[in-house]
Structure 1
Amino acid sequence: MTGDEPTPDRILQLANGYWSTGILGVAASHALFTHLEAGVDTAEGLAGRAGISQRGAEALLDGLVALGLVETRGGRYRNTAQASAFLVEGRPTSLTDFARLKLEHADGLKALPDVVRAGAPVNATVEVADNPHWEKVVTAIAAQSVPVATAAAGLLRLAQAGPISILDIGGGPGVYSALWLALNPQARSTQLDWAPINAIARRRVAERGVADRFSCVDGDLHTTDFGSAVHDIVIYSNIAHQEGPQENMALFARIRGALKPGGTLVVSDFIVDDDRGGPPFALLFASEMLLKSKHGSTWRRADFQAWLTKAGFEDIAFHPTPSPATLVLAR
């Protein structure tokens, strides 16, 4: 072979990609990264601490080394910097709950062939407010918003913004409100979401000691009034990919009316390039929306530009974040 000929290695990696989901999800379920961070550095020690077989611990460690999440030296193991930052339980950016959730979701991929043929979920589940899965899902995705909310706060100079009013539409776990109210002691925030989800947000915001400046409106974002010229900042995080073009345009127009003159809309989403050539995470996420929504997708920068312009926004800027999400600030 000359070295320029194609090999099947990459295709075999992709075809066996479920191994990665399984190894990461199971390792997170048994808190292996947390035990490694605490100094347990052998397969035998991890097996004892996690309550699993030594053979199972060895197989998981082999897989985690292959995935670049654990390093080995002389039979001793330790987390890589990435695993230490994002897979140790109890840290604000920990994705362990998300890794466990994705393991549970893996079986759902069996429906993808039928969904691709139909162009929408074949047996679509209508989401309702009192579905008990919200506790697990909302908690699992919370950590993903932390670096994005932090980046947005810096762009907005939120700490110096003074007494402002914030509306977080579909705010889920309340990450933006918890972080932003802690940064700005004069700010007040309102979250609009279903009642069981707002209950989760109240708990998490209270843990940050800022519950006295946080309120919730229980309702559906499609039908609940946002108010007229009452907010300095409106947050629209991880909503656009769940909605179709017409729904996003309608919501942006309503948000424009809810903002005070000079107010800012903050959009966070997985946004693809105009030629749909990247970035990889956003492109892959389009299949997730095909599986789980009737009209959602990952939308292009040009789509957001057109929708926001039509809604009356004139100053529209796109900003990268330390995550797969892109921030859009529109005034």
Structure 2
Amino acid sequence: MTNDQPAPDGVLRLINGYWATGVLGTAATHSLFTHLEDGADTAAELAVRAEISERGAQTLLDGLVSVGLVEVDEGRYRNTAEASVYLVEGKPTCLSSFARLKLKHMGSLAALPDVARAGGPVTDPATEMADNPHWEDVVPAIMAQSGPAATIATEVLGLAEAGEISILDVGGGSGIYSAVWLEANPAARSTQLDWEPINAIARRLVAERGVADRFTCIDGDFHTTDFGTAKYDIALYSHIAHQEGPEDNIAVFARLRDALKPGGTLVICDYVVDDDRSGPAFPLIFALEMLLKSNQGGTWRRADYHDWLVKAGFEDVSFHSTPPATLVVAR
């Protein structure tokens, strides 16, 4: 290797990238971040509290130091600030359940060469069915991802001072947006449209936030269920557009435009890429998930959303960063 030749470290780290998913998912499975937060700062103490081998605890700690989630000083370990916020159980921002879920999904990547050749799933994406029991794991696991964006949207829309407003959340999943928005505005009411098993989960999760009395659900598929006409002040379409193709998104946006009262607002949250597809990094690589699991989805550009919304009848479109996602606000 010549002096001006780059070292292979970065490429090797990417080739072995599945190790990062493995160490994070396994550490989350054994609640290591929670035990670290509670003061267990050595491999021996973690092994006792997590009921795993000391060798296993030390290896996991080494891996977590490697990926930047744990720090070590004179043999004592502690969570980084990022791990403390996003991986400690019991915190509303905790993503540990999502890390455990992704550990189970690692095997699906082996099909990616065939999927890339075919341009879409090579087997039936059976997970996208209303009666799949995996929703009990998936819906709560991804809830924490949307909490920060929901809070930022509260400020962008001025919801706390909006008074008596009606909200329609299409494909609302866990109901996290409704929960955050109803907490911010005690005069607001929200309706979620989603499949019945998912709505059942949402009702439970929203009840835990103490706002269930102003939250109702419509069981159905948003592709075919009527949204109504001029019924809502705000409509939400969060993390659905990436599953749909351009024409389907335009059609849904037009139906949502009709469902809004005059002057109403459509809020879209999704992984949006720059117009030249140079970034941001997470939305760019998330497109692999859509290639694996959908026949027409992808991570769409800002220009795509603007074009689709104008075609659907909206006039004012703005973008607000909520990393790793983007809020699109249309009126």
TM-score range, shorter chain: over 0.9
TM norm structure 1 = 0.98
Partner of 2:46: 46
State the distance in 1 between where 2:122 and 2:72 align: 45
Offset at residue 8 of structure 1 (A): 1.0
1:141-160 residue pairs with structure 2 within 5 A? Answer: 141-160=142-161
Residue-by-residue CA offset, 1:88-115 (whole Å, 9 max, x unaligned): 0011110000100111000000110110
Offset at residue 5 of structure 1 (A): 2.8
SS where residue 72 of structure 1 aligns?
A: strand
1:299-314 residue pairs with structure 2 within 5 A? Answer: 299-314=300-315
Offset at residue 117 of structure 1 (A): 0.6
* Alignment pair present for 1:84 and 2:87: no
State the distance in 1 between where 2:36 and 2:74 align: 15
Residue-by-residue CA offset, 1:238-262 (whole Å, 9 max, x unaligned): 0000001111010000000000111
Partner of 2:60: 60
SS where residue 300 of structure 2 aligns?
A: coil
1:278-317 residue pairs with structure 2 within 5 A? Answer: 278-317=279-318
Partner of 1:20: 20
TM norm structure 2 = 0.98
Residue-by-residue CA offset, 1:122-173 (whole Å, 9 max, x unaligned): 1122422111000101111000000000000010011100000000000000
Counterpart of 1:103 in structure 2: which amino acid? Answer: L
Counterpart of 2:18 in structure 1: which amino acid? Answer: Y
State the distance in 2 between where 1:68 and 1:204 align: 32
Q: Identical aligned pairs, as a percentage? A: 69
Partner of 2:206: 205
- 4+ long deviations beyond 2 Å: 1-5
* Alignment pair present for 1:186 and 2:202: no
Partner of 1:244: 245
Counterpart of 2:327 in structure 1: which amino acid? Answer: L
Residue-by-residue CA offset, 1:66-108 (whole Å, 9 max, x unaligned): 1110011111111000000000001111000010011100000
State the distance in 1 between where 2:125 and 2:180 align: 32
State the distance in 2 between where 1:320 and 1:103 align: 28
Partner of 1:102: 102
Question: Which residues of structure 2 form unaligned runs of 5+?
Answer: none
Counterpart of 1:282 in structure 2: which amino acid? Answer: P
Partner of 2:326: 326
Partner of 1:217: 218
Supply the RMSD in Å over aligned alpha carbons: 0.9
State the distance in 2 between where 1:128 and 1:300 align: 27
Count of residues in Structure 1 that have an aligned counterpart in Structure 2: 330
* Alignment pair present for 1:93 and 2:93: yes
Offset at residue 2 of structure 1 (A): 7.8
